[in-house]
Amino acid sequence: WFREKGFKSQLYMNFGELNHWNFVVLLAFSYDPIPCAASQTVHAKLHTSTLYYQCSAARRIQLTPGRDRTTAMRPHATGVEKATAPYGSWESPISAAAVSSAGKTVEGLAVAGDGRLLWVETRPEEGGRAVLVKEGAGADGRGLDVTPQEFAVRSLAQEYGGGAFAVQGDVVVFSNYSDQRLYKQTIGDNSPLPLTPDYGGSVVRYADGVFDPHFSRYVTVMEGDWYSIYSMSMVLSIFF
């Protein structure tokens, strides 16, 4: 199109914005400059993404191909009757569950006593429940859920959580999401045993625990809101 109009053009791309390509087109009038008055401007026509070279009130030259941006961006909407609905109440074929189902995450890798990996898997289809999974331990060779259905492995320490479990051999200690208590569980046994008191909620939280086999204890960071609105953190040792 530019060649047919007698223009030289160069295209520059700017990748500075995520998911957007910004294009800068440099137009050079080749050979025969456009005769215009002293007052000359270049402007874009609304809804068409078209540049014009405005020489005067009566003289305007089109510089870029015309395109109706309103229909080009939504070709599927052509011929479809529009409906008006209150903000936030319109129906969509794309549900929140469909969008979040692609957001499964894996974190907190560790190695069990038999050399198989353990990890925490967050599952949007289960309301964001975090489950401890063991590599290739299922009957069909797939990962085996270590965490019983009524538990979820997640710490709320420092609000962000992290370090919600540790493993030694076939024994794991994890922070349960609902009550933030620490539980001890043998892999394959669906009856975790509580190691810390029940404070009636997330008043006390635990994170980044490690096993200390030399003294048969579990050492962890404990954060609590006992005496004030400010959280206090300390190191806690739990002897088995």
- Residue 166 and residue 57 share a domain: no
State both tokens at 45.
Answer: 């026509």
- Residue 216 and residue 110 share a domain: yes
- Residue 228 and residue 160 share a domain: yes
Per-residue model confidence as pLDDT tens for the chain (240 residues): 556 655 554 444 444 444 444 444 444 444 344 444 444 444 444 445 556 555 555 566 665 665 544 444 444 545 567 778 888 787 887 777 777 666 778 889 999 999 999 999 999 888 889 999 999 866 677 889 999 999 999 999 988 888 999 999 999 999 999 999 999 999 999 999 999 999 888 889 999 999 999 999 999 999 988 666 667 888 999 998
82 inside domain: no
The angle subtended at Cα 206 by Cα 176 and Cα 102, nearest 5°, is 50
- Residue 102 and residue 66 share a domain: no
The pLDDT value given to residue 125:
83
- Residue 110 and residue 14 share a domain: no
- Residue 109 and residue 222 share a domain: yes
- Residue 132 and residue 31 share a domain: no
State both tokens at 147.
Answer: 């965490």
The pLDDT value given to residue 11:
45
- Residue 126 and residue 52 share a domain: no
- Residue 118 and residue 38 share a domain: no
- Residue 109 and residue 223 share a domain: yes
- Residue 56 and residue 18 share a domain: yes
The pLDDT value given to residue 154:
96
Q: How far apart are CA 164 and CA 173, in angstroms?
A: 8
SS (H, E, C) the chain: CCCCCCEEEEEEEECCCCCCCEEEEEEEECCCCCCCCCCCEEEEECCCCEEEEECCCCCEEECCCCCCHHHHCCHHHCCCCCCCCCCCCCCCCCCHHHHHCCCCEEEEEEECCCCCEEEEEEEHHHCCEEEEEECCCCCCCCCEECCCCCCCECCCCCCCCCCCEEEECCEEEEEECCCCCEEEEECCCCCCEECCCCCCCCCEEEEEEEEECCCCEEEEEEEECCCCCCCEEEEEEEEC
Query: In CATH, what number is assigned to the domain containing residue 124?
Result: 2.120.10.30
Task: Tell me the whole-structure pTM to 2 decimals.
Answer: 0.60
87 inside domain: no
**What's the number of domains the chain is made of?**
2
57 inside domain: yes
Domain carrying residue 167: 97-239
- Residue 119 and residue 26 share a domain: no
The pLDDT value given to residue 155:
95
